[in-house]
Chain A
């Protein structure tokens, strides 16, 4: 270690010789480049959504802008219905997924023995199974259960998607919490359930918040399951949006307007939850 340190101390800094201050400029340029890289497609989407239908093919030429696309999209009943449905489904899926996996993760973290081991192997394996292997037969299963194209028919598969991964992540949250507090609570007369609910869960709140935000965003943005498991009765926003450039011809301006509308709630959730997400994402 000392040899390394001495060697590096002797080598002169490249930048201080050739371009004083160059390092800072380079850093600033890199920061700007990062912003541009991530913002450009979103910026382009917003720009397309503001162009009239006639000017949309040459977004980069011409300067007429209009909000007619938003008017047109929001006057369509299916879009409003889809907005509402997506909101309900995302919220319920978040509540249910977290509720179900909280206990499952706690069990994985606090109990030892063959049953937790088997459950862990099961969720690890089923987490890896590709979606195509189950979303197609799921169509038949939901039809058999008479819940195809209803809230439950999309909600429960979404919860199923999250069970494996979230149980794993939750286990991590509870692993990071010292169990001795729960033991103390139990000695003082708390039941195991009380120890879980009153001691362990409150300590896991930062992680739970992050996971709730990510879960909500994931469900809000999900496409494949919504495409296969819903139809006219329960329109979902991502599917309706994609239809603007698939089934109903190439209406880029309307698709973009819907996409921008879909972005707003996600934007609000992310900006408000930013600090929780960043804190909670420790693996």
Chain B
């Protein structure tokens, strides 16, 4: 039994747990350039991060807002697309191949591309806006429009995943309840509301949990599209940790922020685990 997990444990310990502990160790030290001894400073870095108005007032709300909006957006769109693909219509496989496109595109490419499309001078979006007679918008220089562009990218990237998993879920549902509903002449909406949705709920819950945890740690698309700007307005917590470590060259403070984020998400994940267990028996 132990031999079965030994290789996995070995790699996990060496390349995930040891680095995490190294980072945690750094977070208790003074890592600034003028202190080569790396003096132990206890919780000072944590207190600094937790008192930082930037972290509390902007970074945390951004992170949770992003998580909620991204999951909700891609869940709803993904569900609609899954329902569409679950029907038989000519060209279904073609539509399905189109839906798979974002899965093939590296998130960095997608992010660079969307930044390019939303460029305020040369971007195609503004050109289209001008074409229909609206004033061009400088998307990436205002907090909320930049946030919108980032969200759009994330939803674009992840909707296909939701759509495919939900489609697989839809296709594995038993046919009898739907036949019964048809015999009773239930409308499409009622069939969806009272049969499809409740039967699909376990799959949806698993999707939401997996995606929520991933959305919390989003880094590359935000970094590529806005770099956390304008004026740190779109910083998520992983950007904050990265900026503290590499731009302000304070690895200890960055690590402290990373540990705080990790603790928040692990607590959150444990709460979600109880929700998850209620719908699907994951641990059994």
**Using a CB–CB distance below 8 Å, which chain A residues touch chain B?**
1-2, 4-5, 8-9, 11, 13, 27, 30-31, 34-35, 37-39, 41-42, 44-45, 48, 57-60, 99-101, 103-104, 106-107, 111, 115-117, 119-120, 122-138, 140-141, 156-157, 159-161, 163-164, 167-168, 217, 220-224, 238, 241-242, 245, 252, 255-256, 259, 262-263, 266-267, 269-271, 274, 277-283
User: With contacts A136-B254, A156-B11 known, what are 10 further pairs, Cβ within 8 A?
Assistant: A13-B187, A38-B98, A126-B20, A128-B265, A133-B20, A136-B19, A136-B23, A223-B107, A278-B168, A283-B206
Contact A141 B265 (CB under 8 A): no
Instruction: Choose from A39, A107, A167, A241 the contact partner of B109 (Cβ within 8 Å).
Output: A241
B105 close to chain A: CB less than 8 A: yes
| Complex interface: chain A residues within 8 A of B89 (CB) | 27, 31
Q: What is the chain B residue whose CB lies nearest that of A109? A: B284
A-side contacts of B99, CB under 8 Å: 34, 38
Q: A119 with B265: in contact, given A8-B187, A156-B11, A281-B168 (CB under 8 Å)?
A: no
Contact A277/B156 with A1-B184, A130-B262 known, Cβ cut-off 8 Å: no
**Complex alpha-carbon distance, A42 and B99, angstroms:** 12
**B112→A163 contact, CB < 8 A:** no
B 1-25 contacts with A by CB, 8 A: 1-5, 7-9, 11-12, 14-20, 22-23
- Please, which residues of chain A bring their CB within 8 A of the CB of B14? 141, 156, 160
Q: Once bound together, how far apart are the Cα atoms of A111 and B283, in whole Å?
A: 12
Given contacts A159-B15, A220-B106, A221-B107, contact A2 B266 (CB under 8 A): no
A133 touches B15 (CB 8 A): no
CA distance in complex: A123, B172 (Å)? 28
Smallest CB-CB separation from B257: which chain A residue?
A132
- Once the chains bind, are A224 and B220 in contact (CB under 8 Å)? yes
Q: Would you give 30 A-B contacts (Cβ < 8 Å), ordered by A?
A: A1-B184, A5-B184, A9-B184, A31-B89, A31-B91, A38-B101, A38-B102, A38-B156, A41-B114, A42-B105, A115-B2, A127-B213, A128-B269, A130-B217, A132-B238, A132-B254, A133-B261, A136-B254, A140-B22, A156-B14, A163-B11, A217-B104, A221-B106, A223-B106, A223-B220, A241-B109, A259-B113, A270-B104, A280-B168, A283-B168
B228 at the interface (CB under 8 A from A): no
Residues of chain B lying within 8 A (CB to CB) of residue A159: 11, 15
Alpha-carbon distance A143/B96, docked complex (angstroms): 44
Contact with A along B126-140 (1 / 0, CB 8 A): 010000000000000
Task: Flag if B5 contacts A103 (CB, 8 Å).
Answer: yes
Which residue on chain A has the smallest CB distance to residue B110? A41
A34 touches B97 (CB 8 A): no
Determine the chain B residues whose CB is within 8 A of the CB of A129 once the complex forms: 16, 20, 262, 265-266
**B100 cross-chain contacts in A, Cβ below 8 A:** 270-271, 274, 277
